[in-house]
A = this chain, B = another copy of it.
Amino acid sequence: MRDLRTSNRARVLRRLYFDGQFSRHELAGATGLSQASVSNVVGELVDDQVVVEAGLVGSDGGRPRVLLRVNPDHACVVGVDVGETHVLVEVFDLTLRRLAMSTFQMESIANRGEAVVERVLAGLSQCIEDSGVDPSRLLGVGVGVPGLVERGSELLVHAQTVGWNGVPLERMLRAGTDLPLFIDNGANTLGQAEMWFGAGRGARNAVIALVGSGVGASVIADGVPYRGASGGAGEWGHTTLALDGRPCRCGANGCLEAYIGAKGVLARHRELAGLPGVVTDEEIALRDLLAEDSPAAREVLNETARYAGAGIGNLINLFNPERVILGGWAGLLLGSQLLPAIREVAAKHALHHPYQQAKIKLCELGTESVAMGAATLPVTEFLNAGGVRNPALMRPTA
């Protein structure tokens, strides 16, 4: 009973949030509620200032409809991107327009959970101040981290590549803020951002494949992120594509990451071209590789496309998505040049029918959207609660 109104508020609110402006009349049709109920629900939402009227629109001789939209200024959210070498904090309004940001570069976050927490909290105060937002209007803080997030009795972050083994990030942040905290894998938050505002808009089933130094994926099943039993779903990078293939930094052999991750691609190129030494800036090196017109470069890129295509084919076979969205800084670089080749290989490896259902495209938001995606987490909570802040998520004050 108590949930009925909430769920109806959520239905209406979500519609307005994701599909723009509607009149009460149209909302009734769109949500399946009766006009009377929509009137009631909208009345409440307007009273609460979650929704505002946004002008009239003539209606062919009749009373004009009153358009409604979400009030962007009703509340704000914070998104945090904890990357391997930086911490980025951003404040957004309810519709995720950025109001302020603050970044910290770090040598590496490896084994430095405390330092990260310090930066996040500093960025938080800084940004909130810069944006001029009253803290009481903040819905919460979403945090994207480079690792697996386990939700047990306590939230723990496992980020193997940076030596975080069971870092109790929530508890650590909790010591410095009362705001509701939402922590998720950065790949998932970036995926959310693409789903809401990028290449995933409108899809209910999608896989966002992220290629950077390493390789990951975010899976959206029936409109919601699929996290698996313990938040570890979507570890596409360590999927075996070549039994007994190249060794991967995870310890196994033949992982996809060893072939299409930036590190792997560059390493193979150096081997093939007989170049020694280490890469200092992977991004520049990858750009150079893409521009280079040598047999070795062609060979490596060709191979990369083949592995990426087969890997995407596997995703298509297993998930049967409407979209496969290729992103991550390396994914975008490689994809901009290799996408046609990748599609071709994927077509060969995926079954005919599922392949036809799947559009393979590139991310639209760039790689900075981890923080924005993190900010979608508190917003999602807010929308699901029908536009009500949930006080239970704050720090329990004595």
Contact = CB atoms under 8 A, between A and B. Distances in A.
Interface in A53-81: none
B310 A354 contact: no
A320 interface: yes
A344 to B, nearest CB: 13
Given A158-B353, A236-B318, A317-B235, A229 B205 contact: yes
Q: Point out which of A226, A232, A310 has the most chain B C-beta atoms below 10 A from its C-beta.
A: A232
B231 A320 contact: yes
A250 interface: yes
A49 interface: no
Given A205-B228, A229-B205, A232-B353, A317 B239 contact: yes
A226 B232 contact: no
A214 to B, nearest CB: 12
Contacts of A243: 241-242, 306-307, 310
B322 A357 contact: no
Given A243-B241, A313-B240, A357 B229 contact: yes
A194 B306 CA distance: 37
A232 B317 CA distance: 7
Contacts of A311: 240
Contacts of A319: 226, 228, 233
A392 interface: no
Interface residues of A, number: 54
A92 B24 CA distance: 48
Contact of A235 (B230, B233, B320): B320
A221 B219 CA distance: 11
Interface in A324-354: 348-354
B354 A240 contact: no
Contacts of A236: 317-318
A269 interface: no
B307 A235 contact: no
A314 interface: yes
Contacts of A317: 232, 235-236, 238-239
Contacts of A251: 348
B204 A229 contact: yes
Contact of A230 (B239, B314, B353): B353
Given A232-B354, A252-B348, A254-B310, 12 more contacts: A1-B4, A148-B354, A158-B353, A217-B318, A228-B321, A229-B320, A229-B321, A232-B357, A233-B319, A234-B320, A235-B317, A238-B317
6 contacts: A1-B4, A229-B321, A235-B318, A239-B317, A240-B241, A240-B349
Interface of A: 1, 4, 148, 150, 158, 160, 204-205, 217, 219, 221-222, 226-236, 238-243, 250-252, 254, 306-307, 310-311, 313-314, 317-322, 348-354, 357-358
